[in-house]
Amino acid sequence: MKTLRLSHLLPGILVTFIWGLNFTAIKIGLDGIPPVFLCFLRFFFSAFPAIFFVPRPEVPFSNVAVYGFVIFACQFAFLFAGMHYGLSAGLASIVLQMQAFVTIALSVIIMNERPLKSQLLGAAVAFAGIVIIGVYAGGDISVLGLVLVFLAAVAWGSGNMIARSIGMVNILALVVWASLFATLPLGLLSLFVEGRAEISSAIMHMDWLSAGAVFYLAYPATVFGYAVWSDLITRYPAATVAPLSLCVPVFGLACASALLGEPLPFWKIGAVLLVLFGLVINLFASRLKQGNIV
């Protein structure tokens, strides 16, 4: 089983930090912008103006369109709606990481990959941490929000499989052009669900904080983040890369606590340490056995 080189591991961890902070940016953006329209803005600005300078990826447009629809439009429409309907930024960052297990399951079913025992153990330990947080969160849980964010996790895991099937390609081009294909269904859904009046009001009353949230979601979190992540997911087996995203809830909880004032009790800290421990097992157990950590 191929393991992550240090030169790929460090950019991957940086992306998980950017994505952890992403949940705080979403919560800030949702204060003044309806969820589907916020999602539309994210991918509109991820596509423009970059699309005029980045050549389209050398793969069939249908592949790019499906990737953009699943991993961008579906994942983030569900995620933003779930947070809009009451799931906190910290808890959303945790539930979304179910994508790691969805990705591994799909890789076994579709691509006949066989994860190492150490990777399965790491996933089980990390999952235990997520379960503890879910159990102790209590009144913090919105059932509708929970279901919507879980659907976002399924979309992310499915998108990882699509990225694997596309193979090696100009990753920046894939992210930019896939963002373009996400804008049309998101724009139509926003018009249908949220309506012209709500959209117009959000635009007219947008302040610098909302605009900053849109900028962060579009460029660091999408263009940079997914370019790096998709590159990793095409280089390595899914069972190697997907658990790296379990760092996201650690950063997500920390950022939500520091910037939004969300509570961070000891039980939550302990559960997050379990998630981290599971990640360490997944990433380093096979390397220690082989005597290779780079």
What is the secondary structure of 63-110 as a DSSP string?
HHHHHIIIIIIIHHHHHHHHHHTT--HHHHHHHGGGHHHHHHHHHHHH
Q: Whole-prediction pTM value?
A: 0.84
Helix (H), strand (E) at residue 260: helix 247-260
Half-sphere CA count of 272, side-chain side, radius 13 A: 19
Residues comprising the chain, all counted: 294
**pLDDT tens-digit profile of 189-228?**
999 999 999 999 999 999 999 999 999 999 999 999 988 9
Q: Please confirm whether the linkage preceding 49 is cis (ω < 30° from 0).
A: yes
Residue type for position 132: I
Whole-number percent of the chain with pLDDT over 70: 92
**pLDDT tens-digit profile of 61-105?**
899 999 999 999 999 999 999 999 988 888 888 888 778 778 878
Residue 288 pLDDT exceeds 70: no
> What is the rounded CA–CA span in Å between residue 2 and residue 8?
12
Taking a C-beta distance cutoff of 8 angstroms, is the pair 229, 77 a contact? no
Point out the least confidently predicted range of 43-47, 225-229, 279-283: 279-283
Residue 3: helix, strand or coil by DSSP? Answer: coil
Residue 293: band (very low, low, confident or very high) from pLDDT cuts 50, 70, 90: very low
Residue 36 is predicted with a pLDDT of 97
Cβ contacts of 7 within 8 Å, gap of 6 or more: none
Residue 137: band (very low, low, confident or very high) from pLDDT cuts 50, 70, 90: low
Residue 163 is predicted with a pLDDT of 84
Taking a C-beta distance cutoff of 8 angstroms, is the pair 89, 263 a contact? no
Residue 30: band (very low, low, confident or very high) from pLDDT cuts 50, 70, 90: very high
Q: What is the mean pLDDT of residues 10-17?
A: 92
Residue 229: band (very low, low, confident or very high) from pLDDT cuts 50, 70, 90: confident
Cβ contacts of 190 within 8 Å, gap of 6 or more: 34, 36, 37, 39, 40, 199
Maximum average pLDDT range among 27-41, 95-109, 139-153, 257-271: 27-41
Residue 51 pLDDT exceeds 80: yes
Question: Which position has the higher pLDDT, 289 or 186?
Answer: 186
What distance, in Å, lies between the first and last C-alpha atoms of the chain?
14
Q: What is the mean pLDDT of residues 99-128?
A: 80
- DSSP, res 194: T
Per-residue burial over 77-89, b = 16 or more CB atoms within 10 Å of its CB, e = otherwise: bbbbbbbbbbbbb
The whole-angstrom distance between residue 134's C-alpha and the CA centroid of its chain comes to: 19
**pLDDT tens-digit profile of 139-197?**
556 778 888 999 999 998 999 889 888 877 888 899 999 999 999 999 999 999 999 99
Residue 286 is predicted with a pLDDT of 55
